[in-house]
Structure formats: C-alpha cells, structure tokens
Amino acid sequence: MKTALVIGGGPAGMMAAEELARAGADVTLIEAKPTLARKFLMAGKSGLNLTKQEPLEAFLSQYSHPQIAAIARAFGPDQMQQFARDLNVDLFTGSTGRVFPKAMKASPMLRAWIARLTELGVTIRTRWRWQGFDGAALVFDTPDGRKTLTPNVTVLALGGASWPRLGSDGAWRDWLMAKGVTVTPFQPANMGFQIAWSDHMAPHLGQPVKGAALITPAGRSRGEFVLSKRGIEGGGIYQISSELRAGAPLHLDLAPDIDADTLAQRLAAIPAKQSLSNRLRRGAKLDPVKLALAMEWGRPLPSDPQALAAQLKSLPVPLGPPRPLAEAISSAGGIAWNSLNDDLELSTLPGLFAAGEMLDWEAPTGGYLLTACLASGRHAGRAAARRLLSSPD
C-alpha cells in the first residue's frame, strides 16, 4: 500500500490524515507532544469558537491572503458546522454569529475525531519529534531512538510559532529554508499591546472595556477588550492587531452611540460647580473603567464642553509594542505562497505539502483561524491523495 505521512497532530494535520485515509492511503499521523491537538484543547477552555455564521463574502474578507480565502471558500462556515455535527457535536450560534459546541468544550469533539481516524486505519505516533531531513528521508527522535521514514507523500502541519509550549515552535523553518523554501519571518498575531499604566489605574486592571468604538485609519470597529497589567488585549484589539502591529494609531470613542454635538450639550448641562469626574459620569454616562481611561489618556482634559466631547470621541491610546510571539494566539508569517503551488505542495520538494498555520496568512479570532486550518488541511490532504493515487507503484 502507498504510504502517507502527516507531521503535526493539530486540526490541520488531523484533517489531512482523514482525507488521505479516506482515499485509501496507509497513513501515519505523527505528533511531537504526548497527545494530539493541545492548542485546540487550550482554545476550548474559552468555549471553542469553531466558526462564524455570516455571509460567506464577509467571512472570507477576514483572511490576509487571497489563496487561503479561496481554500476557505470550499470549506467555510457551513461545512465546518456539518463536520462538527458528523462527529455528534451539538452546536449553537451566539448573538454575534459565533458558533460553539453546546458543551463549550473541545475534548468531546477531539475524542470523537481521534476515534474516527482510528476507525479509518490511521496510525497515530506521539512523542515523535521531527528533526529535519537526511537526504530525501525524514528524521525523527522517538521514544525508541532515532527513526528515518521515506513515505510516498508527506503533509506538514506543524503550526506557526505562537504558544511554543504547546508544540508550535517554528523549528521547521530552518530545515525548509535549507531546501530552498521561502519562509516569511514570524510575527505575533491576535495579540495584546503593551501600555505603561500610571498607579491610579491599578484598581481597574483586569476589567473589560465595553461599549467603546476603536478607531484606526482603516475605520471603526466595536469590540470588547480587557485592561491587563501589561496593556490591552482581547477580541476588540485582536480584530485590528495586524493594523496596529504595522504602526497604525489607535483612538477610542468612549461614547459611540451619540454624536459629538449631543455629547457636548449633555456635558454643558451639568452645572460648572460639579467636579470633572461628575461631569463625565453624569453628562457622558461613563462607567468607572471608561472614566479612568479618560483621566489616564486625556489629561489635561479641557473644561470647554465642545472640546471635552471631542476628546472623549477620539481619545488617543498610547500603544507600546505588541506582546511577544510566545504570548500571541496565532502568528503571521510562515511558508511564502510563492513557494507553494495551488495544491499547497512545496515547489522545491515534490510530494511534500503544507497546511495550517505553517502558511503565511493571518485572520482575527472568532472562528476564522480554526476554519481555515481545517480547510487547508483538507485541501492539502486531498491534493496529496491525488498525487499518491496518480504515481506509479
């Protein structure tokens, strides 16, 4: 039987292994860690956002590269949900369109998926760590010593370089570059940003900021974020993190549901003898966290109602650098698209395919990352199966 190897036991690798097994290949799935899909399980601790139910074009617009968007077009939100249901995972859609398992856990889905792979005949090897090439062979450190394998086709699904403690350490980069593959440098994606807080912010750290608009040169967005000891993080920031990483300025609209003139009128209606804090609480309806931010980033706040309203409607955020790659939810960078053909096969290494976060793309959290990882694993697995079946015995 023709042999196929998948290196990397996350969602992209598991999907590739399933596609190859369904095509009749003898498939071995290799994972460096003791168990499969550790990052998938970590994501499940916050509820496992599988995908987002929204118009397909809006969904695809969130991807940074047209090729990953084209791959996700063939396996998008509808297909992702059906995939989960086929594993007997009951789903629900939240008010924002995000889709979750009703159990709000990743482990039941993972167990069912591993069982299905086993039924399909996939051999799973854990604690096997890829160590690069020996000529055309692939070299592994295993519990039984060093092994070399020469499969007919290989799919690499080793992740990017975020959360290295879970296995995605980017060690593969140098081995592929030595084989003529172009790899774009890694950068943090879906990450927080550092901010130097003053002492008066200490009581508010750890609190969410709700109901504010985030303003960048690209536009306005609404999304909750959190004040942490080191800065700001959370979904609202992750949505615009690639723009901020590139140096775009950020402003907050602390009263996004009313215009500046109306806000100025409400501020002017508060008696001048009131303290500035009371004027902001009563006139602008700022909660304690927003009030603290106005004091932190707006000083000296003007007393004139019109100028004060303008400041609250466009409060500058003194962003520091992004949080480190090791803390990021995902990474930008990876295998450059000009090193791949449309089948996700490496042009300098025929018979070797790549999928998932190894590829140079990024997307915000909210189901986009996971959907595209499975979509690319499916795409690479099917392409590897076609190559396998078309090659001579």
Q: What is the pLDDT of residue 150?
A: 96
CA dist 377 and 174 (Å) reads: 22
CA dist 183 and 168 (Å) reads: 15
Q: What is the pLDDT of residue 391?
A: 77
What is the phi/psi pair of residue 380, to 5°?
A: -65, -40
Cα 224 → chain centroid: 17
Architecture of the domain whose range is 3-188+325-390: 3-Layer(bba) Sandwich (3.50)
- Find out whether 6 and 101 touch, Cβ atoms under 8 Å: no
CA dist 313 and 41 (Å) reads: 40
Q: What is the pLDDT of residue 393?
A: 62
Q: Around 265, how many Cα atoms within 13 Å sit in the side-chain half-sphere?
A: 5
Core vs surface per residue 120-159: b (16+ CB within 10 A) or e: eebebbeebebbebeeeebbbeeeeeeeebebbbbbbbbb
Q: From the first residue on, what is the mean pLDDT of each consecutive set of 10 residues in the chain (393 residues)?
A: 94 98 97 95 88 97 97 98 98 95 95 98 98 96 97 97 90 97 97 97 97 97 96 96 97 97 95 89 95 94 94 97 95 98 97 98 95 98 95 70
Q: What is the pLDDT of residue 163?
A: 87
CA dist 99 and 106 (Å) reads: 13
Q: Around 361, how many Cα atoms within 13 Å sit in the side-chain half-sphere?
A: 28
Q: What is the pLDDT of residue 148?
A: 97
Q: What is the pLDDT of residue 137?
A: 97
Please state the domain extents for the chain: 3-188+325-390, 193-316
Question: What is the maximum span of the chain, computed from C-alpha positions, in angstroms?
Answer: 89
Q: Which of 21, 330, 368 is nearest to 160 (CA)?
A: 330
CA dist 30 and 154 (Å) reads: 11
Q: What is the pLDDT of residue 272?
A: 80
Q: What is the pLDDT of residue 44?
A: 79
Q: Around 74, how many Cα atoms within 13 Å sit in the side-chain half-sphere?
A: 14
